[in-house]
Amino acid sequence: MSNLTEIRWHGRGGQGAKTAALLLADVAFQTGKYVQGFPEYGPERMGAPITAYNRISDKQIRVHSNIYEPQYVVVVDESLLETVDVTRGLKKDGAILVNTQRTKEEIIPQLKGYEGKVYIIDAHKVSMATMGKYFPNTPLLAAIVKVAGIMEEDIFLKEMEASFKHKFASKPEVIDGNMAALKMAMQEVR
Amino acid sequence: MGKRERLSGNEAVAIALRQINPDVFPAFPITPSTEIPQYFASFVANGQVDTEFITVESEHSSMSATIGASAAGARALTATSSCGLAYMWEELYIAASNRLPLALALVNRALSGPININCDHSDSMGARDAGWIQMYAENNQEAYDNMVQAFRISEHKDVRLPIMICQDGFITSHAVENIELLEDDVVKNFVGEYEPENFLLNTKASMAVGPYAITDYYMEAKRNQAEGMKNAVAVVKEVAAEFAQISGREYGLFEEYCMEDAERAVVMIGSAAGTTKDAIDALRAKGEKVGLIKIRLYRPFPAEEIAEALKNVKAVAIMDRAEGYTNHGGPLGADVMSALFRARSQALAVNYIYGLGGRDVRVEDMEGVFEALKQITADGDAGETYRYMGIRE
């Protein structure tokens, strides 16, 4: 396995794709990796398509370009499948993860003949069941960690709990819901 | 011991400022620098600093307030980007000509228009002749380290000039990357207390700041300013040497990467230098003798040192992330070529405009530049010296 993992996130402004990329950088950093998490902004407004990126490596990362040939793509908003070429440059030995309530069979025809692995998760279901509100990025973060094998699940959960305790220090009541969302997402992704 | 962290460039600079604990920070927000005063405001609210944080109604006012505070005898700074810097214009010259050692955390962004929020260097390049020291960073670590060193340079009695600490908008300001922070007390001791010699609030020695200078005196005042700039070179090196003692990280006027035996070189500023290093490693693996000079100190411009570092190269590409509208290239191109001319260099030099408005720079782009230099060397002729990289025809 290559020691550099590159991930591209497609979302819409306000959905937390950037936050998810930053959280992934955060948790990978905790396991001793070199990381990059960064957004690519077009117009700054809610609902506009945005792209975010992650590089995770055993070596120092110096390159500062966007990612054109990722191993993994995460689609936070499936309406983007119609307007954005989400599989562009995606490596065949990689995978795409789509947040959808539909089946894999319904999604695949929209992926322009992508030959690699396809994973889906219903982040809406996971989010509503565990947090009572729609925050797709928490379930998608757990799902991509599992799909890309970025780290052991128990280490991931332990690090995320510590991170949530820090991030939500002023509202600890949301920590349990977020942790439940991560665990459920790891079961639900397929 | 340093502390390993992962931070965006903006957060890293904000943390450096918390550790410095300046006296006054007037602020007006503009993307992509907004996060710096935003993080800093939380340090103020949490009582982690005792800085006077002043929210003002424009960048003209934020720089004016910084100037006022600095003239009064305070250690002061502000942050901005792009049009915010443009709006500070006349104040930039006031700060420099009054020899005020204040700082500006600049997050580089294209100037309008068309309106664009992404990185290029057109904002700070426009201010290159304003009499400020300018320092640039490749990544979050360098932005942090330069900020920690800033006041030691600007406040030095041989210098006493304002300093602009620049980093690339979004590319480093909003990218979370690994970084090593210094301990709070180490930074505090390194930066030290600010003890101005002359200041407005000194009731024992009253003085005027910003007076009128008739023709009989104006030119001597400007010559004195130039003297401070001249002295800044040695001070930058001195402060860097001391900084290496506390951090283990070495800085100079510029960084030389694989230059020992380089026959072809790129000279550039900012985050794309990291991308260029990856291109160099790939080409070196194929036996190609290529190297990089990454400018850290742009004003004052280390012309002789750069010419010396380039003395053995056959061809050099100077990369400008700003247009100069001279019909023959950008500002860095002009500076480096003039340095080469004065050193009677025989190197074939070309100047590229690249990365405007955030146009991405890929490893392949930089390999392409080195390939073009190979052709130039083979031809023994630079051909068109004013080029564009990554432009759609």
Looking at the complex, does the CB of residue B282 fall below 8 Å from at least one CB of chain A?
Answer: no
Looking at the complex, does the CB of residue A83 fall below 8 Å from at least one CB of chain B?
Answer: no
Contact A26 B117 (CB under 8 A): no
Percent of chain A residues topping a pLDDT of 90? 82
Radius of gyration in angstroms for the set of CA atoms belonging to chain B, rounded to a whole number: 21
Chain B contacts of A26, Cβ < 8 Å? 6, 176
- Best mutation target, A22, A35, A58, A62, to test chain B (most B CBs within 10 A): A62
**pLDDT tens readout for residues B72-92:** 999 999 999 999 999 999 999
DSSP assignments along B186-208, one per residue: HHHHHH-----SS-TT-TTS---
For residues A172-184, average pLDDT: 95
Radius of gyration in angstroms for the set of CA atoms belonging to chain A, rounded to a whole number: 16
Contact B6 A38 (CB under 8 A): no
DSSP assignments along B39-76, one per residue: HHHHHHHTTS---EEEE-SSHHHHHHHHHHHHHHT--B
Chain A contacts in chain B segment 79-118 (CB below 8 A)? 117-118
- Best mutation target, B6, B170, B360, to test chain A (most A CBs within 10 A): B6
Chain A contacts of B174, Cβ < 8 Å? 38-39
Strand partners, A80: none
Which residue type is seen at A118?
Answer: V
Looking at the complex, does the CB of residue B274 fall below 8 Å from at least one CB of chain A?
Answer: yes
The confidence score (pLDDT) of residue A169 equals 85
For residues B220-239, average pLDDT: 98
Looking at the complex, does the CB of residue B172 fall below 8 Å from at least one CB of chain A?
Answer: yes
Cis peptide before B37 (omega within 30 of 0): no
Given pLDDT bands bounded at 50, 70 and 90, which one contains residue B286? very high
For residues B93-117, average pLDDT: 97
Contact B177 A62 (CB under 8 A): no
Contact A41 B278 (CB under 8 A): no
Q: Which segment of A28-32, A33-37, B64-68, B149-153 scores lowest on mean pLDDT?
A: A28-32
Burial of A49 (0-12, 13-18, 19+ CB in 10 A): middle
Query: Does residue A2 register a pLDDT over 60?
Result: no
Domain ranges of chain A: 4-188
Q: What is the mean pLDDT of chain A?
A: 93
pTM: 0.96
For residues A44-66, average pLDDT: 92
| Of B174, B321, B117, residue with least CA distance to A66 | B174
Given pLDDT bands bounded at 50, 70 and 90, which one contains residue B189? very high
Query: Does residue A136 register a pLDDT over 90?
Result: yes
Chain A contacts of B114, Cβ < 8 Å? none
Contact B178 A39 (CB under 8 A): no
For residues A143-160, average pLDDT: 94
State the smallest CA–CA distance between residue A63 and chain B in angstroms.
4
The confidence score (pLDDT) of residue A1 equals 38
**pLDDT tens readout for residues B333-343:** 999 999 999 99
Asked if B170 contacts A42 with a C-beta cutoff of 8 angstroms, the reply is no
If you count residue pairs, one on A and one on B, with CB atoms under 8 Å apart, how many are there? 62
- Best mutation target, B4, B170, B177, B294, to test chain A (most A CBs within 10 A): B177
- Best mutation target, B178, B275, B278, B321, to test chain A (most A CBs within 10 A): B178
Instruction: Report yes or no for ipTM above 0.90.
Output: yes
DSSP assignments along A120-155, one per residue: EE-HHHHHHHHHSS--THHHHHHHHHHHHT-S-HHH
Query: Does residue B58 register a pLDDT over 80?
Result: yes
For residues B372-389, average pLDDT: 98
Percent of chain B residues topping a pLDDT of 90? 99
The architecture of the domain spanning A4-188 is 3-Layer(aba) Sandwich (3.40)
Query: Does residue B247 register a pLDDT over 90?
Result: yes
d(CA B128, CA B136): 12
Query: Does residue A45 register a pLDDT over 80?
Result: no
State the smallest CA–CA distance between residue B379 and chain A in angstroms.
31
Compare CB distances from B275 to A39, A40, A63 and report the shortest one's residue: A63
Looking at the complex, does the CB of residue A38 fall below 8 Å from at least one CB of chain B?
Answer: yes
For residues A105-118, average pLDDT: 96
**pLDDT tens readout for residues B307-354:** 999 999 999 999 999 999 999 999 999 999 999 999 999 999 999 999
For residues B141-161, average pLDDT: 98
Query: Does residue A46 register a pLDDT over 90?
Result: no
State the smallest CA–CA distance between residue B7 and chain A in angstroms.
9
What would you measure as the largest C-alpha separation in chain B, in angstroms? 69
Dihedral sign, Cα of residue A12, residue A14, residue A17, residue A18? positive
The confidence score (pLDDT) of residue A44 equals 63
| Of B138, B140, B150, B134, residue with least CA distance to B20 | B150
Compare CB distances from B175 to A26, A34, A37 and report the shortest one's residue: A37
Nearest CA in chain B to A38: B175
State the smallest CA–CA distance between residue A108 and chain B in angstroms.
30
The confidence score (pLDDT) of residue A166 equals 82
**pLDDT tens readout for residues A6-17:** 999 999 988 889
The confidence score (pLDDT) of residue B383 equals 97
The confidence score (pLDDT) of residue B331 equals 98
Asked if A92 contacts A116 with a C-beta cutoff of 8 angstroms, the reply is yes
Chain A contacts of B359, Cβ < 8 Å? none
Helix (H) or strand (E) holding A38: strand A34-40
Contact B275 A25 (CB under 8 A): no
Given pLDDT bands bounded at 50, 70 and 90, which one contains residue A93? very high
Helix (H, G, I), strand (E, B) or coil at B80: strand
**pLDDT tens readout for residues B270-279:** 999 999 999 9
The confidence score (pLDDT) of residue A47 equals 83
